[in-house]
């Protein structure tokens, strides 16, 4: 019977000690009788003592057994039934690759309940297809200036710089500054048009007809087909102008994919020891494309405070700082030897202002350089501006850009030079054949306000609402074949971008170029 009582031969499913003790009682009966006689021969006090000792030992064993049971509960296997509290402690070993994948999935959580029907591209799409390039933002972050001195989040300031794009504030500003229900309806239709012409890779092209299988015509010039950064930025800016971001809004998926395309399509590098994100492209005249793309990234960061956008936005600004010409301006190529031109300068100053409003790092010396360039090309004591030098005659677009930049860089609205510049712009008025000029003039006059703005706005608003396409695939868009610099080369997409942003001027520009612009100017 030793094989039965040997504990080393017990199976985990077998009963424990009590069953073995029963079998011993059956087969060792004589010994049990002898132990019983000895027990009867013991005096009563000895029996009582013996019994009490047994009871104490049993109680001791019971108290010792409880901790063992607790340990067993805490070390229960995953197959045991678990309540909600136990699930909290279920920890699995994760592969580092799996962690990275999980973070990426979390980052891209967007509402896809309303999928955009994307037509199959034609064969010509190969000329504009851009391969996405992976960017290690972690490495970029480690090279940036310390966050405490160079980058601030929106939570660190008292008010978000883009708060006027919220639904309630938009209604107020539309009412106060001359917008209408019809102008807002036109904006919504334009955003729908942009959403229908986004490519599967997240970008847009001035050859927009490829995305819609020629359901609407009037593409940009073939030489602009490769300017995908510029086209993508021009499509994104109207979304964000209407308060749409990659975090919220009906078009957040479109905005998210567009921003991701811009960041992936930029060229990451270092200039003067600082990380830069180069978004130039020869088809978009270099710094034109970069300035537009930088505005889009900086606006998106300023509106959301998303830390994932802080580094690419700052790096795009760093490239603008690097690319500045010796005369303080910017032109097609970074540090172009013959100096800047007013048109390119306008986009870079707006990008710097967007970054400043988003509390990114903007070196004062860069802003001071832009002021020196404006001094170089101004005429009539700052009331008018030329292209690369002072102009004897008034150049509408250059003058509107120059006056707006002066507002950004601190000239007060009561400054006689600003007053004179606004009078020049108001004298030119609204030009149906110069949408590029109108885009800047609308901002200048909206900033200044008054009768000059009311007259300009009434003409602009009503004409744009009336001329918006209502037919077929072009519904919601505009095309201005003689719209001046930009719309002419960029076709229907560029025309629609300018027109939409002009109809958003009531609320879109207030956060960047608010009425108190002189009080919130660049650090000079």
- Distance of alpha carbon 176 from alpha carbon 179, whole angstroms: 8
Characterise 188 by phi-psi region: left (phi > 0), alpha (psi -120 to 50), beta (else): alpha
Name which of 237, 321, 306 is nearest 275 in CA terms: 321
Q: What angle do CA 246, 150, 162 make, to 5 degrees?
A: 35
- Distance of alpha carbon 211 from alpha carbon 231, whole angstroms: 13
- Distance of alpha carbon 359 from alpha carbon 156, whole angstroms: 9
Are the C-beta atoms of residues 258 and 230 closer than 8 Å to each other? no
Beta strand 378-379 pairing with 384-385: antiparallel
**What count of other Cβ atoms lies within 10 Å of the Cβ of residue 18?**
7
Helix (H) or strand (E) holding 378: strand 378-379
Q: Record the tokens describing residue 332, joined without a space.
A: 């097609």
HEC-encoded secondary structure of 471-524: CHHHCCCCCCCCCCCCHHHHHHHHHHHHHHHHHCHHHHCCCCCCCCHHHHCCCC
Name which of 456, 441, 431, 435 is nearest 400 in CA terms: 441
pLDDT at 150: 31
Are the C-beta atoms of residues 238 and 187 closer than 8 Å to each other? yes
Q: What angle do CA 184, 190, 133 make, to 5 degrees?
A: 130
Please tell me what DSSP assigns to residue 247. Answer: S
Beta strand 274-278 pairing with 267-271: antiparallel
Are the C-beta atoms of residues 282 and 222 closer than 8 Å to each other? no
CA 78 to chain CA centroid, nearest Å: 41
Are the C-beta atoms of residues 235 and 202 closer than 8 Å to each other? no
Burial (CB count <10 Å: 0-12, 13-18, 19+), residue 468: buried
pLDDT at 412: 86
CA dihedral sign of residues 396, 187, 360, 522: positive
CA distances from 279 to 290, 295, 343, 399 (A): 5, 11, 18, 27
Q: What angle do CA 179, 185, 186 make, to 5 degrees?
A: 85
Series of mean pLDDT values for 10-residue runs along the chain (524 residues):
38 38 38 46 61 60 42 32 32 31 31 33 34 39 36 33 65 83 96 98 96 93 95 98 95 98 97 97 95 98 95 98 98 98 97 94 97 98 97 97 94 93 98 96 93 96 97 95 81 97 86 43 67
The residue written with tokens 């063992």 in the block is 68
pLDDT at 520: 55
Please tell me what DSSP assigns to residue 174. Answer: H
pLDDT at 413: 86
Please tell me what DSSP assigns to residue 380. Answer: G
pLDDT at 113: 35
Please tell me what DSSP assigns to residue 381. Answer: G
Are the C-beta atoms of residues 203 and 195 closer than 8 Å to each other? no
The residue written with tokens 């424990």 in the block is 16
What residues have CB less than 8 Å from 492, skipping those under 6 apart? 208, 216, 217, 218, 219, 220, 474, 477, 478, 479
pLDDT at 191: 98
pLDDT at 351: 97
What residues have CB less than 8 Å from 475, skipping those under 6 apart? 189, 192, 193, 469
- Distance of alpha carbon 194 from alpha carbon 254, whole angstroms: 9
Q: Record the tokens describing residue 7, joined without a space.
A: 């504990």
pLDDT at 248: 93
Burial (CB count <10 Å: 0-12, 13-18, 19+), residue 133: exposed
- Distance of alpha carbon 18 from alpha carbon 198, whole angstroms: 77
First CA to last CA across the chain, in angstroms? 100
CA distances from 361 to 83, 148, 349, 479, 498 (A): 51, 11, 14, 37, 28
The residue written with tokens 């930049």 in the block is 405
- Distance of alpha carbon 404 from alpha carbon 418, whole angstroms: 9
- Distance of alpha carbon 119 from alpha carbon 127, whole angstroms: 17
| Bridge partner residues of 378 (DSSP) | 385
Q: Number of helices (H) and strands (E), helices first, in the chain?
A: 22, 4
């Amino acid at each position: 019977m030793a094989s039965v009582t040997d504990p080393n031969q017990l199976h985990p499913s077998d009963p424990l000690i009590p069953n073995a003790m029963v079998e011993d009682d059956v087969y060792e009966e004589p010994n049990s009788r002898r132990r019983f006689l000895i027990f009867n021969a013991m005096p009563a006090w000895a029996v009582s003592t013996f019994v009490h000792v047994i009871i104490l030992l049993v109680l001791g064993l019971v108290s010792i057994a409880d901790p063992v049971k607790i340990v067993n509960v805490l070390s229960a296997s995953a197959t045991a039934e678990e309540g909600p509290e136990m699930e909290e402690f279920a920890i699995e070993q994760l592969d580092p690759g799996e962690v990275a994948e999980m973070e990426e999935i979390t980052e891209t959580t967007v509402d896809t309940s309303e999928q955009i029907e994307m037509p199959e591209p034609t064969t010509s799409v190969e000329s504009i297809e851009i391969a996405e390039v992976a960017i290690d933002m972690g490495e970029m972050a480690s090279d940036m200036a310390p966050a405490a001195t160079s980058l601030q989040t929106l939570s660190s300031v008292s008010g978000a710089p883009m708060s006027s794009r919220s639904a309630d504030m938009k209604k107020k500003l539309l009412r106060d500054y001359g917008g209408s229900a019809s102008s807002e309806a036109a904006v919504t239709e334009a955003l729908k048009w942009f959403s229908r012409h986004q490519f599967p890779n997240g970008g847009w092209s001035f050859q927009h007809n490829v995305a819609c299988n020629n359901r609407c015509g009037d593409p940009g010039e073939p030489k602009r087909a490769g300017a995908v950064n510029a086209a993508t930025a021009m499509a994104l800016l109207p979304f964000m102008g209407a308060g749409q971001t990659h975090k919220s809004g009906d078009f957040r998926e479109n905005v998210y994919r567009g921003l991701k395309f811009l960041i992936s399509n930029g060229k990451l590098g270092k200039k003067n020891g600082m990380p830069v994100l180069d978004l130039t492209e020869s088809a978009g005249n270099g710094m034109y494309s970069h300035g537009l793309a930088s505005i889009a990234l900086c606006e998106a960061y300023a509106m959301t405070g998303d830390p994932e956008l802080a580094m690419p936005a700052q790096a795009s600004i760093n490239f603008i700082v690097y690319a500045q010409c010796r005369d303080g301006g910017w032109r097609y190529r970074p540090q172009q030897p013959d100096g800047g031109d007013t048109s390119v300068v306008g986009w870079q100053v707006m990008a710097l202002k967007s970054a400043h409003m988003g509390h990114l790092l903007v070196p004062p010396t860069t802003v001071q350089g832009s002021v020196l360039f404006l001094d170089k090309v101004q005429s009539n004591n700052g009331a008018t501006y030329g292209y690369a030098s002072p102009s004897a005659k008034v150049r509408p677009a250059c003058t509107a850009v120059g006056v707006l930049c002066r507002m950004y860089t601190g000239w007060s609205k009561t400054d006689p030079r600003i007053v004179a510049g606004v009078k020049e712009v108001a004298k030119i008025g609204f030009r149906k054949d110069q949408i590029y000029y109108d885009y800047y003039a609308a901002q200048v006059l909206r900033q200044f306000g008054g009768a000059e703005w009311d007259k300009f706005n009434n003409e602009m608003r009503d004409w744009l609402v009336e001329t918006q396409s209502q037919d077929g695939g072009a519904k919601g868009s505009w095309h201005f074949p003689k719209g001046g610099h930009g719309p002419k080369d960029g076709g229907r997409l560029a025309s629609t971008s300018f027109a939409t942003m002009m109809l958003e001027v009531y609320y879109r520009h207030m956060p960047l170029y608010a009425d108190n612009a002189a009080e919130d100017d660049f650090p000079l």
